[in-house]
Amino acid sequence: MTNNSDNEIDLSKETVDLSAKGEKEPKSSSGSGSMPILDAGSEFAGYQIIRKIAHGAMGVVYLAEDPKLRRKVALKVILTGPGMQATDDQVSRFLREAQSIAKLRHKRIVPVYEVNTFENCHYFTMEYIEGPTLEQYLLKNEITAAKAIEIVLAIAEGLQEAHEKGVVHRDIKPANIIMQNGESPMITDFGLAKILEHEQKITMTGSMLGTPCYMSPEQARGDSDLDYRSDIFSLGVLLYEMITEKL
């Protein structure tokens, strides 16, 4: 995850889940506790919390320190409402994100370190990447068409690794790309990822998951048989946005 400014990143406004209306309230998972409130200086699962750096539809991400290894990590904790337990669906999606990343080993993908639970709360840790998101980078930098192509080709390298391992990201957008040290793009946030070889039918036909502006038509329709071509479409939208400064 990323370190860019004093303001945390709000991804909840970017990603939508428009499921079919009229569904029953989801059942709470008996084995999942409510999300803890973590302040700077507090401790969670042996990690020292430094500050909150991002939050979205699936979880909250903190900058933390591993005192044993003396390194900073991005600690992601499953997101629930105040005093509420995570539902089975939330837990499944959260663990699927960690499992998706764990399958991948590539310089363009932020790696996962640990997946675990602490006081019945699910969490996982990732490498902490210094640098702005591509979204923040584009706001502060004018880029040429050649630079835009360079960035997209680098992202495509990471996506190729994911696709070859049967993982579809489903939410490629500037906010989910970190520019390591302001230069090298890395893919993060696999919260909506789909593992093709054993998809668990968490996303039902007719529901839409993702960020509308970057979605392929198939993803916008809520097609259940989505594959890697949807990520390529999103990458094309990203390239168009960088070159034209329009979306």
SS3 172: coil
SS3 208: strand
pLDDT at 189: 87
Q: For the chain, how big is the Rg over CA atoms in Å?
A: 18
Q: How far apart are CA 95 and CA 105, in angstroms?
A: 18
Specify burial of residue 185 (Cβ count, 10 A radius: 0-12, 13-18, 19+): buried
Q: Annotate 37-49 with b (16+ C-beta within 10 A) or e (fewer).
A: ebeeeeebbebbb
Per-residue pLDDT tens listing for the chain (247 residues):
555 444 454 443 444 443 333 333 334 344 455 677 799 999 999 999 999 998 876 789 999 999 999 999 999 999 877 777 888 888 888 888 888 888 899 999 999 999 999 988 999 999 999 999 999 999 999 999 999 999 999 999 999 999 999 999 989 999 999 999 999 999 998 877 777 765 444 343 445 567 899 999 999 998 888 899 999 999 999 999 999 999 8
Of 10, 88, 171, 225, catalytic: 171
Q: For residues 162 and 109, is the Cβ–Cβ distance under 8 A? A: yes
Strand partners, 185: 179
Cα-Cα end-to-end distance for the chain: 25
Q: How far apart are CA 48 and CA 63, in angstroms?
A: 9
Global confidence as pTM:
0.78
Helix ranges (DSSP H) in the chain: 88-102, 134-140, 145-164, 217-221, 229-244
pLDDT at 214: 95
User: How far from 89 is each of 28, 40, 97, 189, 229, CA to CA, in Å?
Assistant: 9, 29, 12, 18, 26
Respond yes or no: is residue 223 known to be catalytic.
Answer: no
pLDDT at 22: 38
Q: How far apart are CA 61 and CA 48, in angstroms?
A: 13
pLDDT at 33: 58
SS3 61: strand
